[in-house]
Structure 1
């Protein structure tokens, strides 16, 4: 389903997006007096546009009205009134062939966000969409419907990304991702960061986010970034969160700091509401207090099924006080990372799958990363699947027992590119039963570095670990009936503008074959050549520092 296009969808000068409440595809009449309010004199589309959750007959289109997107009260400088926002979907960027149109209500109760579930479209097609308020027009976005069930397209282009920390660097990688114009983008968590602080010429506005106003302002700040806007406008997104959309390393109703426990569900309620307001999600994900239904399945015909997981909202608390530990208590079979109900949902999905490729879009490292080379101890991250080994084994056994044709885990969180094979038992590795592709961060961790070997020192005693680089970037894939090709895309720096993107390594998975096959190993960029080589101890320290200080 590779769809060619001349170039990136251009943002209109000065345009930024707006967000709204879930509506249908017909015109929505609003009889309230405020619905006919005077059109704002300045552009309300300062936060860009987005599409998401595609299906064979449509997708969600999103915007959020904000005259002052950085307003500390989180209201985006908008009056306390509703607005009627017309929208259009066309087959061409010039909108000479409009195939769907209507109007949605932007309500202040939902941050003046707009979510339209567009239907009645043709499967496997490219469309363009836009919004209007009075004389103001939004940027034009591009969306793509999925092929119908029973169809197997020749190819699907998919990119996935994670971890964009605003003060840590520029979102250059998002701009390069937008240029690729894939059929779909997966964002695997840490879309924004909750903490206060500053970095390389950029700083978070306001204190650590704990209130609805604070979360809304933080999303407003992120969404004013032109590269992020371009990435949203270029393709439909499938989004799932990790921890920083709420609180570092939280687990279900347990916050990072014990002192925050009495009010944590209030904070989670605010965070989940702001997340929905700012993401292209369907009505099925409208939050109810501190709960939001996020895990879901999206089918690309019979070529691929995406199982999008939520590994934060239902998980058991981290064992042994979090961090890297040798913790026998973590192996308790009653503990679960996705929660028992989501584990059963995933097992049912594997059992009924007819897809050529089953892909798990999820947040934290799935395979083992043991930092202790001795045989006497296993020191692993309590926040990743390593901290929930029984849960990981149940999920792995589920796809093995169901005979899933090509299982692939897609991961974010760890601020580095990794390629990893997967086993049922990491203590006694046998045959490879699946593979994991891990994307680096967009900026988190700041300017990265590379090594000619593409190996982390832990790979010496972790046979599943096949590749690693500490450069920033994203993963770009092409999925066909015969193979999945994954290109680890990197930028050499994020502290200053102008970084070019390059492919550091390419791995292939062949249909019906277990295990990754490397087909390309790109040279280091010129900015990395001649750099002082980092010792193994420095590489390990960088990994642990990133995790232990909550930047994952």
Structure 2
């Protein structure tokens, strides 16, 4: 980017940071954004009259409850008031609402650990984020919200073990890519019943694409969705309503109520394959930054994120670090907001000077330093990196010089080499990368040199398939033979929908790839498609 372009980007970010609510809902051009920018009240600002919650006639907890980012002494609790979730404004006036919350040791709330109240502000679409502190480490808790005569469903969460404590095991689930219009979220129904400690969502929680009156591939016969969903999301109101549609799914709500989530985004939460302030259609960055600001704001409003992740205009620091005693360190990445533009116009392409340019980055320099510095300080047995796009080399054909994806780490090879060099320099022995994005399940050995299969294996990559994106899929996609031949470090490839669980232990880690037979109709059973084990101190995947 030129110096003039950099200055324009700074000015546009500043404008978007002060973009008022009304302009957020309607503006699509930077000129209007700059001309009509006004200050938007922040959380805690009493900018609206207070609604008497006794006047709320319909259940406001239609979008469920959630918790996230567990820490040793605290949890983050979330809900959003929406008595009419498919209507602009969600059926509430532009007034603030007082919401009570309770956190208990038991599901019947006979032993309440903490309780309090919080304000649901209209500026944040009546969402609430409650950071409850002074809790016991490594404990299960139950929570709920109340307002007026209404009581939410009960959620279950847990705190992380104390920093530095010895932990024998942890079970996590990894999920990604839940296109509502591609099918039912049946995998979440099974995940809600699964015995896991925490769920990592690796991106594409939302899709910007239109959803027609029958819900696309869901093909509803018992309901008709409003026409306002049958357009691509552009404005803040569009994104807010789309989250309401997604969160109305009972299986998604069940998974959120059952387990704490740790979330990171990919591209579709804003727009397909965007890179930094550049969208996929070549529109002016000015326009996209306004759209990105709306998308980021709605993302924070609708997910269980703590206050450091609250957006500032079109910027939101989503990368962050969580500890699970001495067993695991989780470095959650954002590979979308700071990346260089995709090489060769995106898509698949053979590697070349543009994609291998050492100045190219997928994480941005600041996040890259944060990651490698964190590894140097890590005392964890397992260093796990939840992130978005395929990290390992993935050749797409059998040619002497194969095409690779320019949107994945293959399109940013210098960035990948720097990250792996940082891991080796820090002495990381048990590196595990968790990935989403590609709507299939993969298991990779991460090689010191992907073009030399005899080189040392330096870690493992577990790629979670999609919840719904890609429709029903198949156990062996059409390119299964090509991919497995072209990538001998690929130990598993499956194209069904589902999720993956990973059991981290003191001696080994086990990954179970769980898939459903269909998402085109609800209620499909779940099965384990494959299981792999990697030993602590001896990277490399073996069938379990």
TM-score interval, normalised by the smaller of the two chains: 0.7 to 0.9
Provide the rounded CA distance (Å) in 2 between the counterparts of 1:452 and 1:324. 18
Structure 2 residue aligned with 1:351: 376
Match for 1:419 among 438, 443, 448? 443
Give the CA deviation at 1:152.
1.8
1:122 matched residue in structure 2: 136
1:457 corresponds to which residue?
482
| Alignment match, 1:394 | 418
Aligned to 1:483: 508
Residues 452 and 133 of structure 1: CA distance in aligned 2, closer, same or farther (over 3 Å): closer
Aligned mates of 1:318, 1:458 — CA distance in 2: 22
Once residues 483 and 151 of structure 2 are traced to their aligned partners in structure 1, the CA distance between those partners, rounded to angstroms, is 52
In 1, Cα distance between the equivalents of 2:450 and 2:45?
A: 58
Aligned-residue offset at 1:420: 0.5
* Higher helix fraction (1 or 2): 2
SS at match of 1:516: strand
Deviates more, 1:127-136 or 1:460-469: 460-469
* Distance in 1 between residues matched to 2:468 and 2:48, nearest whole Å: 44
Q: Distance in 2 between matches of 1:259 and 1:397?
A: 36
SS at match of 2:540: coil
Distance in 2 between residues matched to 1:454 and 1:124, nearest whole Å: 44
Distance apart, 1:194 and its partner CA: 0.3
In the aligned structure 1, how far is the partner of 2:365 from the partner of 2:48? 44
Pairing 1:207–2:221 present = no
Cα displacement string for residues 17-66 of structure 1 (whole angstroms, at most 9, x for unaligned residues): xxxx998xxxx997975154543011000000000011000110000000
SS in 1 for 2:531: strand
Does residue 277 (structure 1) correspond to residue 295 (structure 2)? The answer is: no
2: CA distance, partners of 1:69 / 1:33: 21
Confirm or deny that 1:409 pairs with 2:433. yes
- Which residue is equivalent to 1:517? 542
How far residue 82 of structure 1 moved from its aligned partner, in angstroms, is: 0.2
CA contact (8 A) 1:56 1:146 kept: yes
Q: Which residue of 1 aligns with 2:69?
A: 53
Instruction: Provide the TM-score with structure 2 as the length reference.
Output: 0.88
- Whether contact under 8 Å (1:159, 1:184) holds in the other structure is yes
Secondary structure of residue in 2 paired with 1:115: strand
Structure 2 counterpart of 1:150: 164
Structure-2 residue corresponding to 1:10: none
The residue that corresponds to 1:14 in the other structure is none
Shift in Å, 1:490: 0.3
Report SS of the residue matched to 1:34: coil
Residue 78 of structure 1: how far off its partner (Å): 1.1
Greater Cα offset, 459-468 or 309-318: 459-468
1:366-419 CA-to-partner distances (Å, cap 9, x unmatched) read 0011123122x2310000000000000111111112111310000000000100
Retained in 2: the 8 A contact 1:507–1:518?
A: yes
**Is the contact made by 1:30 and 1:105 (CA closer than 8 Å) also made in structure 2?**
no
Moved over 6 A (4+): 28-32
Distance 1:454 1:258 in 2: 31
Please tell me whether residue 110 in structure 1 is matched to residue 124 in structure 2: yes
SS at match of 2:277: coil
5+ residue gaps in structure 2?
1-40
Aligned equivalents of 2:534, 2:480: Cα separation in 1:
19
Q: 1:456 to 1:83 in 2, by over 3 A?
A: farther
Answer whether contact 2:331 2:385 (CA < 8 A) is retained: yes
- Please report the TM-score for the alignment, with normalisation by the length of structure 1: 0.86
Matched, 1:70 2:86: yes
Partner SS state of residue 494, structure 1: coil
- Deviating more after overlay: 381-390 vs 37-46: 37-46
CA RMSD of aligned residues (A): 1.9
- For 1:307 and 1:451, the matched residues in 2 are separated by 32
Say whether residues 1:495 and 2:495 are aligned partners.
no
1:224 aligns with 2:248: yes
